[in-house]
Amino acid sequence: MTDSAVEQSVQDDLHDDVAAPAERMRPRVVLGVSGGIAAYKSCELLRRFTESGHDVTVVPTAAALEFVGAPTWAALSGKPVATDVWTGVEQVPHVRIGQSADLVVVAPATADLIAKAAHGLADDLLTNTLLTARCPIVFAPAMHTEMWEHPATVTNVATLRERGVLVIEPAEGRLTGKDTGKGRLPEPAEIFDVCLDVLSRGATGPDLAGRQVVVSAGGTREYLDPVRFLGNRSSGLQGYALARTAAARGAEVTLVAANVTLPDPAGVKVVSVSTTAELRDAVVSAAASADAVVMAAAPADFRPTAVSGDKIKKAADGSAPAIELVQNPDILKEISHTRAHPGQVIVGFAAETGDDTGSVLELARAKLARKGCDVLVVNDVSGGAVFGSPENEAVILATDGSATQVARGTKASLAHAIWDQVARRLT
Is residue 348 at the binding interface for ligand CTP, with CB under 6 A as the rule?
Answer: yes
Min CB(330)–ligand CTP separation in Å: 5
Tell me how far apart the alpha carbons of residues 245 and 227 are, in angstroms, rounded to a whole number.
35
Q: Which amino acid is at 374?
A: D
Is residue 295 at the binding interface for ligand CTP, with CB under 6 A as the rule?
Answer: yes
User: In the set 171, 331, 396, 418, which binds ligand CTP (CB under 6 A)?
Assistant: 331
Restricted to residues 253-282, the positions that interact with ligand CTP (CB under 6 A) are 276
User: In the set 208, 299, 380, 386, which binds ligand CTP (CB under 6 A)?
Assistant: 299
Strand bridging mode 229-230 / 252-258 = unpaired
Is residue 301 at the binding interface for ligand CTP, with CB under 6 A as the rule?
Answer: yes
Catalytic (active site) residue 328: no
Q: Give the end-to-end CA distance of the chain in Å, rounded to a whole number.
A: 53
Tell me how far apart the alpha carbons of residues 207 and 399 are, in angstroms, rounded to a whole number.
22
Of the two residues 197 and 222, which places its CB atom closer to ligand CTP in the complex?
A: 222
Is residue 378 at the binding interface for ligand CTP, with CB under 6 A as the rule?
Answer: no
Residue 108, preceding bond cis, omega within 30 degrees? yes
The one catalytic residue among 128, 232, 328, 379:
232
Residues 34-73 vs ligand CTP: string with x where CB under 6 A?
Answer: ----------------------------------------
Is residue 397 at the binding interface for ligand CTP, with CB under 6 A as the rule?
Answer: no
Burial of 252 (0-12, 13-18, 19+ CB in 10 A): buried
Of the two residues 56 and 241, which places its CB atom closer to ligand CTP in the complex?
A: 241
- Answer yes or no: are the C-beta atoms of 168 and 188 closer than 8 Å: no
Of the two residues 89 and 326, which places its CB atom closer to ligand CTP in the complex?
A: 326
Span near ligand CTP by CB under 6 A; candidates 195-203, 264-272, 348-356, 410-418:
348-356
Of the two residues 30 and 213, which places its CB atom closer to ligand CTP in the complex?
A: 213
Span near ligand CTP by CB under 6 A; candidates 76-84, 130-138, 173-181, 345-353:
345-353
Is residue 349 at the binding interface for ligand CTP, with CB under 6 A as the rule?
Answer: yes
Tell me how far apart the alpha carbons of residues 97 and 57 are, in angstroms, rounded to a whole number.
8
Is residue 351 at the binding interface for ligand CTP, with CB under 6 A as the rule?
Answer: yes
**Among 46, 92, 99, residue whose Cα is nearest residue 72:** 46
Is residue 350 at the binding interface for ligand CTP, with CB under 6 A as the rule?
Answer: yes
Q: Which residues are within 8 A (CB) of 366 and not within 5 positions of it... i.e. 6 or more apart?
A: 358
Span near ligand CTP by CB under 6 A; candidates 127-135, 158-166, 191-199, 343-351:
343-351
Sign of CA dihedral 376, 380, 385, 387: positive
Rg (CA), the chain: 25
Span near ligand CTP by CB under 6 A; candidates 90-98, 144-152, 328-336, 403-411:
328-336
Q: Which residues are within 8 A (CB) of 197 and not within 5 positions of it... i.e. 6 or more apart?
A: 244, 245, 248, 249, 412, 416
Min CB(185)–ligand CTP separation in Å: 33
DSSP conformation class of 309? S
Span near ligand CTP by CB under 6 A; candidates 95-103, 190-198, 327-335, 406-414:
327-335
Burial of 194 (0-12, 13-18, 19+ CB in 10 A): buried
Neighbour count for residue 424 (Cβ, 10 Å): 11
Of the two residues 98 and 219, which places its CB atom closer to ligand CTP in the complex?
A: 219
Tell me how far apart the alpha carbons of residues 371 and 337 are, in angstroms, rounded to a whole number.
8
Min CB(11)–ligand CTP separation in Å: 56
Residues near ligand CTP (CB under 6 A): 276, 295, 297, 299, 301, 328, 330-332, 348-351, 367
Give the residue numbers annotated as catalytic, written as ranges: 232
